[in-house]
């Protein structure tokens, strides 16, 4: 079944020509998607679909629309303003719908224009934006580009969900295969040896190798008791949540078939693991232990088709980067994943303005062909180059080949704020199961990992060292717990 993408066109009733043009453009898009066998269909709605039933407008905007296009001239009517405020309130609450404002080019700043800009600033803050258009054709072309980007993100999110389902199946197959292999390898034991499953991003895996006791490379470990699956932080957090929820009842934690450890380039919050649980409900089953393993410096990797501009240097300030993204809308922006810890670190470092800046123009997921000229042609013939949001320990695939073949077109820049480099913290997260009272237990194989790779006290149990009056939490730095070796009892 095709994924439906409902879009509402808001604006003055008199803008009939613009609405007809946008709907015709949507029909053309659907023809393209059908020819490309993409499993989506764009549905464009406007005043003509509802007549003068304002309540139906409002319900469609808040409950159905994924995108709301506000088409404005030199002024904004009260009904359109009310619809805008309604959409903004819903977006801030639930993250949807996405709002795009199209404002016709003007030569003179009128009171109506000032009112529109003030309304946008109140809604989005000082980094507000709108897309200017000259005529209906220009409006349709710019709207088409933004809708295509939204469709691309939608398809990518669906793929991520399918990947998550696939990962769950992989887990089950891996667990079965490792359990079977161990069963036959150790017939005298007849009990499966638990396997550490590392889940998380590439930068965290690189930092673990850099800062562990013996430069432990989780990607290339030959230990059959350890495997690594590259996945965004949000998916990795979900796996730890499921581990606590599904396995807390098992009494012999050393007999678990697998034990997940999350590697993440961002500092998690309780809410990342709780999902629908309360902290009290979660703590009845287990807690999350965290270990900061280092800081990774943010770096942007840029390739310019016509050569690196003279104004760009080895370091770029946060504000300069925001200004560059705002001005140069022909520069394609790539991220490793829309839910990666690295991208989250950029959003935090950019004061939450990065999403709006990039969303307003362009964004893609990075897949290197090791030929930048080919990448540019595949992406868009009109773009001037591309920028990958990465870090010192997580450069984009193919970057060395780019710089070797096109040294005058490539630049790597560290991001700074007030002269200080922006960094992202890199963490290891793992589960401790509730034993009794404030005592929690971790499996033997996890204890070995802490001791052998992270040089943490050799122990199997832990108790909390927090003030009883403190706010209940589910994430505890390992330094805030004390380990007890119960094997001596």
Predicted local distance difference test score (pLDDT) of residue 1: 61
Which residue carries 């490309």 as its tokens? 36
Torsion angle defined by CA atoms of residues 353, 357, 360 and 365, in that order, rounded to the nearest 10 degrees: -100
Predicted local distance difference test score (pLDDT) of residue 251: 47
Whole-structure pTM over 0.75, yes or no?
no
| 442 and 485 Cβ atoms separated by less than 8 Å | no
For the chain, the domains span 3-158, 194-489
Burial class (CB within 10 angstroms; exposed 0-12, middle 13-18, buried 19+) of 436: exposed
Predicted local distance difference test score (pLDDT) of residue 22: 92
* Assigned superfamily of 3-158: Toll/interleukin-1 receptor homology (TIR) domain (3.40.50.10140)
**395-442, pLDDT tens digit by residue?**
887 888 888 888 999 999 999 988 899 998 999 999 999 888 888 988
Tens-level pLDDT at each residue, the chain (489 residues): 677 889 999 998 889 899 989 998 988 888 888 877 777 888 888 888 877 777 887 888 888 888 999 999 988 999 899 999 999 888 888 778 888 899 988 878 888 888 988 888 888 776 566 888 889 988 998 888 888 877 876 765 555 444 444 555 455 555 555 545 554 554 444 455 567 888 888 888 888 988 888 888 888 777 667 888 877 777 788 888 888 877 644 444 554 567 889 999 888 889 888 877 888 889 888 999 999 999 999 999 999 988 998 888 999 998 888 888 877 778 888 876 666 778 778 877 777 566 666 654 455 556 566 667 766 665 556 778 888 888 998 888 788 888 888 899 999 999 998 889 999 899 999 999 988 888 898 888 888 899 888 988 777 788 887 655 556 789 999 888 888 766 544
Burial class (CB within 10 angstroms; exposed 0-12, middle 13-18, buried 19+) of 81: middle
CA angle 249, 253, 255 (to 5 degrees): 110
Predicted local distance difference test score (pLDDT) of residue 34: 80
Predicted local distance difference test score (pLDDT) of residue 190: 45
In what helix (H) or strand (E) does residue 198 lie, and over which residues does it extend? Answer: strand 195-200
């Amino acid at each position: 079944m095709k994924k439906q993408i409902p879009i509402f066109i808001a604006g003055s009733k008199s803008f009939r020509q613009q609405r007809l043009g946008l709907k015709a453009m949507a029909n053309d898009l659907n023809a393209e998607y059908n020819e490309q066998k993409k499993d989506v269909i764009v549905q464009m709605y406007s005043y003509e679909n509802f007549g003068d039933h304002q309540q139906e407008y409002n319900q469609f905007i808040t409950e159905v629309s994924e995108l709301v296009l506000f088409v404005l001239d030199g002024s904004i009517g009260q009904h359109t303003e009310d619809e805008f405020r309604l959409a903004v309130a819903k977006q801030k609450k639930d993250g949807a719908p996405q709002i795009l404002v199209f404002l016709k080019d003007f030569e003179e700043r009128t009171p109506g224009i000032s009112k529109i800009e003030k309304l946008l600033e109140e809604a989005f803050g000082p980094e507000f934006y709108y897309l200017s258009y000259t005529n209906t054709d220009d409006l349709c072309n710019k709207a088409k580009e933004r809708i295509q980007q939204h469709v691309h993100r939608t398809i990518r999110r669906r793929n991520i969900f399918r990947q998550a389902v696939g990962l769950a199946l992989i887990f089950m197959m891996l667990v079965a295969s490792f359990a079977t292999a161990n069963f036959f390898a150790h017939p005298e034991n007849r009990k499966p040896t638990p396997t550490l499953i590392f889940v998380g991003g590439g930068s965290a895996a690189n930092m673990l190798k850099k800062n562990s006791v013996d430069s432990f490379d989780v990607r290339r470990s030959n230990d059959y008791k350890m495997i690594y699956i590259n996945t965004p932080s949000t998916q990795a957090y979900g796996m730890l949540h499921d581990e606590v929820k599904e396995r807390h009842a098992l009494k012999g934690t050393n007999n678990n078939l697998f034990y997940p450890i999350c590697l993440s380039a961002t500092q998690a919050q309780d809410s990342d693991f709780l999902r629908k649980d309360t902290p009290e409900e979660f703590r009845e089953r287990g807690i999350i232990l965290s270990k900061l393993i280092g800081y990774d410096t943010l770096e942007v990797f840029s390739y310019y088709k016509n050569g690196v501009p003279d104004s760009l240097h080895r370091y770029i300030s946060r504000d300069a980067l925001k200004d560059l993204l705002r001005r140069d809308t022909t520069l394609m922006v790539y991220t490793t994943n829309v839910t990666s810890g690295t991208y989250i670190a950029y959003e935090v470092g950019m004061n939450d303005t990065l999403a709006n800046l990039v969303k307003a123009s362009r964004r893609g997921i990075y897949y290197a062909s090791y030929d930048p000229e080919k990448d540019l042609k595949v992406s868009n013939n009109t773009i001037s180059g591309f920028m990958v949001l990465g870090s010192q320990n997580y450069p984009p695939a193919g970057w060395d080949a780019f710089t070797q073949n096109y040294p005058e077109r490539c630049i790597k820049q560290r991001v700074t704020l007030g002269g200080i480099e922006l960094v992202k913290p890199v963490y290891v997260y793992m589960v401790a199961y509730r034993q009794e009272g404030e005592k929690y237990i971790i499996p033997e194989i996890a204890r070995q990992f802490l001791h052998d790779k992270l040089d943490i006290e050799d122990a199997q149990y832990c108790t909390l060292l927090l003030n009883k009056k403190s706010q209940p939490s589910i994430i505890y730095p390992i330094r805030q717990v004390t380990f007890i070796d119960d094997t001596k009892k």
